[in-house]
Structure 1
Amino acid sequence: MTVKLVVGLDGQASGERALAHAQHLAGLIGDCELFVIYVIEWSPYSFQTAEENAQRHRRREEEIATATERLVDPAVAKLRTSGLKARGIVRHGDVADTLNRIAREEGAEQIIVARMSEGGFVRRVFGSSTSNLVMGAVVPVTVVA
């Protein structure tokens, strides 16, 4: 039976540490598939004109293409080069909800994320997305420092 792990990238060195840990676990497990996920934070709760919505849709598609090309595809290629099964996914939405939903849909055994993104002004033990994920996940969450 293939064990499935979801790995959340954040575009920072912290996400690279989460990816490295997932790669290490996959090597220990053997028959494992990694789902490398990047979530572009996006809220559906803004009220705009039809023209603004069309522009927003175009921006969303551009953001997905850019994140796929710059972050997810290189990570997946690195994993595949090391002999692992990997697939990349980029989505818009709430980070915790999206990672949790993908883990549930794919039948993942575990979610692996960084403690917090290295961007931003506030230094906390857990970033808000990470703490929300830990509190609401349907599978175990490994938080990498």
Structure 2
Amino acid sequence: MIKTFIVGYDGTEPSKRALDFAARAAKGRGAAVLLVHVLEWSPYSFLTMEEIAERHKEREKEVERAKSVVNPVCEKLRASGLNVSSDVQYGDPAEIMCEIAGKHPESIIVVGRKGTSNLAARFMGTLGISLIQASPVPVTVVP
């Protein structure tokens, strides 16, 4: 039984389609929705103290921007009667979503498909492919 729909959400059209799909499915099952927004951050080495401080400030700004995308959506879904929570993290999107799914064994990951150049990625998106290969729970890729 699915208790949690883990949705990769960044405000893009594909992520909105994934969220719509997950919200309808969750409502029909009495399940929760967990919106996950992952900010990719590449680590740099050999930074000065000033550069480290600047990166920290940038990181805080990015988290606030991400929350400004996710929080209004959560409020709207709560108003419709859904049990909704969110998680904003830094890292690799597939790794973070798989880690979260590992903590919610009765869950399913839902992501939107984004168009890319190679054939496999064109059908499912690169995140979708990574999740299908590594996820401990089922994955749905919404076209």
TM range (shorter): 0.7 to 0.9
| Alignment correspondent of 2:66 | 67
Report how far residue 105 of structure 1 moved.
2.4
Distance in 2, Cα, partners of 1:16 & 1:138 = 24
Paired residue total: 139
Distance in 2, Cα, partners of 1:93 & 1:142 = 21
Match of 2:131 among 130, 133, 142: 133
Please list, as runs of the form range in 1=range in 2, the aligned pairs for 1:3-42 lying within 5 A after superposition.
3-30=3-30, 32-42=31-41
| Alignment correspondent of 1:55 | 54
Letter in 1 for 2:27: G
Letter in 2 for 1:54: A
| Local SS of the residue matching 2:56 | helix
Report how far residue 127 of structure 1 moved.
2.4
Structure 1 pair 81–111 and aligned structure 2 pair: CA distance change class (3 A)? same
Please list, as runs of the form range in 1=range in 2, the aligned pairs for 1:106-117 lying within 5 A after superposition.
106-116=104-114
Distance in 2, Cα, partners of 1:8 & 1:108 = 17
Q: Is residue 108–residue 140 contact of structure 2 (8 Å, CA) maintained in 1?
A: yes
Report how far residue 8 of structure 1 moved.
0.5
Report how far residue 122 of structure 1 moved.
4.0
Please list, as runs of the form range in 1=range in 2, the aligned pairs for 1:70-89 lying within 5 A after superposition.
71-89=69-87
| Local SS of the residue matching 2:124 | coil
Q: Percent identity?
A: 37
TM-score by length of 2: 0.88
Distance in 2, Cα, partners of 1:88 & 1:35 = 5
Summarize deviations over 1:50-102 as a string: whole Å, max 9, x none: 32122111111110111101x11011111101101000111111010011111
Structure 1 pair 67–50 and aligned structure 2 pair: CA distance change class (3 A)? same
Report how far residue 108 of structure 1 moved.
4.7
**Superposition RMSD on alpha carbons, in Å?**
1.9
Structure 1 pair 2–133 and aligned structure 2 pair: CA distance change class (3 A)? closer
